[in-house]
């Protein structure tokens, strides 16, 4: 009995000592770990490279997809990322670039508002010696040659225009719905400052003429990539030319979706008595292709381009330079038809 009492007393003393000792409780341990994690995170944040991203305007449907993919990739890789909206104003974007330079960013990714003004932004980044990737809007070879830490990542717009023409050539009558031997079309262009608009306009029609088709342009208007403007241009053209219109080419999907609304209002039916094509393969456009309300579109691979832009940026940060004539990295377009559209949803 005395032995049991002694053991009990000893256990009580041990438990008392443990309770009174400085051994942290579980809550205190967690708090210390969290504090240490926060310190590490702050240190990592302080040493992470800073990337400034300039987008020509946030409310462009395609560039929204591109911007989100780009920002997500960069942040997952540990970069500090700041993204600015140029509001389609080149002078404002120039100021944003100046701000990033003042902040000491390690690299810049720029979607120029106006490629005709690329000389100005290139001179800015060159003077600051900041590795720079231009995206989506391609300057001239001569402009880019001014700085060897500059590269363009995007798609060759000539290819997208050619594919639009091929989508029409792939129809049963090659776009000549009334069988008179002439494909009569309306062109709805994007921003005339943008080389993508210029090439898509030129090469979509060139694909038809190269295939031996005769063409007649009924109307050619600038929709500035905007859905409502695309709708208005199409409505006016349909009212003026009526059943003469066999094809409506749109430089992007947003304008094509606007044009579709006017086509429906005019009592026309896509793929029966009129054809309609766009570029970008936006989700809304893919749905219309699958529903038979668009003849087709062309995938402008936002995620592929974002990935390419990040890789090019890391190459530049690693010391890579580019020589004149080799400063453009292209990602291929893809024709999207009712047969393969589900693959791109």
Please say whether the dihedral angle defined by the alpha carbons of residues 331, 335, 336 and 339, taken in this order, is positive or negative: negative
Model confidence at 31: pLDDT above 60: no
DSSP code, position 343: G
What is the reported pLDDT for 27?
A: 57
Calculate what percentage of the chain has a pLDDT beyond 70.
86
Residue among 282, 233, 249, 283 nearest 166 (CA): 249
pLDDT at residue 209 is higher than 70 = yes
What pLDDT is recorded for position 197? 95
208: left (phi over 0), alpha (psi -120 to 50) or beta: alpha
Give the residue from 203, 204, 263 showing the smallest Cα distance to 231. 263
Compute the distance between CA of residue 214 and CA of residue 95 in angstroms, rounded to an integer.
48
Inform me whether the pLDDT recorded for 311 exceeds 80.
yes
The answer to whether 201 and 157 have CB atoms below 8 angstroms apart is no
Query: Is residue 23 scored above 60 in pLDDT?
Result: no
User: What average pLDDT score do residues 115-129 get?
Assistant: 95
The phi and psi torsions of 295 (rounded to 5 degrees) equal -65, -35
Which of 1-15, 87-101, 165-179, 246-260 has the lowest average pLDDT?
Answer: 1-15
pLDDT at 161 over 90: yes
> Across the chain, what does the average pLDDT equal?
90
Q: Average pLDDT, stretch 45-58?
A: 87
Greater model confidence, 7 or 149: 149
Tell me the C-alpha distance between 83 and 20, whole Å: 54
Min mean pLDDT across 29-33, 84-88, 90-94, 335-339 is at 29-33
Query: What does the CA dihedral 301, 304, 308, 311 come to, rounded to 10 degrees?
Result: 160
Q: What is the pLDDT of residue 157?
A: 93
Is residue 134 over pLDDT 90? yes
Query: What pLDDT score does 230 carry?
Result: 98
With 60 as the cut, is the pLDDT of residue 34 above it?
no
What pLDDT, on a 0 to 100 scale, did the predictor assign at position 172?
97
Query: Going by C-beta distance under 8 Å and a sequence separation of 6 or more, which residues neighbour residue 188?
Result: 221, 223, 230, 233, 234, 248, 249, 250, 251, 255, 256, 259
> What average pLDDT does the segment 314-343 reach?
96
Query: How sure is the predictor about 147, in pLDDT bands with cuts at 50, 70 and 90?
Result: very high
- The pLDDT, as a whole number, for residue 193 is 84
Distance CA 23, CA 52 (A): 47
pLDDT digits (tens, 9 = 90+) for 177-201: 999 999 999 999 999 988 899 999 9
Region 276-304: mean pLDDT is: 97
Provide the pLDDT for residue 33.
52
User: What local confidence, expressed as pLDDT, does residue 261 receive?
Assistant: 98
Cβ-contact 164, 200 below 8 angstroms: yes
The yes-or-no verdict on residue 315 having pLDDT over 70 is yes
Cα(6)–Cα(283) distance, integer angstroms? 79
């Amino acid at each position: 009995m005395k032995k049991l009492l002694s053991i009990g007393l000893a256990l009580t003393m041990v438990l008392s000592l443990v309770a009174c000792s400085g051994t942290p409780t579980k809550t205190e341990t967690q708090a210390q770990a969290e504090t240490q994690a926060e310190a590490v995170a702050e240190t990592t944040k302080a040493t992470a490279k800073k990337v400034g991203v300039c987008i020509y305007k946030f409310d462009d449907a395609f560039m929204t997809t591109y911007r989100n993919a780009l920002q997500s990739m960069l942040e997952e890789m540990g970069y500090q990322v700041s993204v600015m909206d140029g509001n389609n104003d080149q002078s404002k974007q120039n100021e944003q670039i100046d701000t990033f330079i003042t902040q000491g960013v390690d690299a810049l990714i720029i979607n120029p508002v106006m490629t005709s003004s690329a000389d100005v932004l290139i001179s800015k980044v060159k003077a600051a010696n900041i590795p720079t990737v231009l995206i989506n809007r391609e300057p001239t070879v001569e402009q880019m040659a001014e700085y060897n830490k500059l590269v363009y990542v995007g798609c060759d717009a000539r290819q997208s225009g050619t594919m639009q023409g091929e989508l029409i050539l792939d129809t049963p009558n090659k776009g000549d719905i009334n069988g008179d031997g002439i494909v009569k079309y309306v062109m709805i262009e994007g921003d005339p400052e943008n080389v993508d608009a210029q090439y898509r306009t030129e090469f979509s029609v060139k694909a038809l003429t190269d295939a031996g088709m005769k063409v007649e342009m009924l109307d050619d208007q600038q929709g500035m990539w905007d859905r409502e403007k695309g709708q208005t241009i199409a409505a006016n053209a349909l009212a003026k030319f009526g059943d003469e219109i066999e094809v409506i080419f749109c430089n992007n999907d947003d304008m094509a979706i606007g044009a579709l609304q006017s086509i429906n209002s005019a009592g026309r039916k896509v793929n029966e008595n009129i054809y309609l094509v766009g570029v970008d393969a936006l989700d809304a456009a893919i749905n219309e292709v699958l529903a038979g309300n668009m003849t087709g579109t062309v995938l402008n691979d936002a995620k592929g381009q974002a990935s390419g832009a990040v890789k090019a940026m890391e190459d530049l940060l690693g010391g890579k330079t580019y020589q004149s004539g080799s400063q453009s990295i292209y990602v291929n377009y893809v024709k999207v038809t009712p047969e393969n559209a589900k693959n791109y949803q």
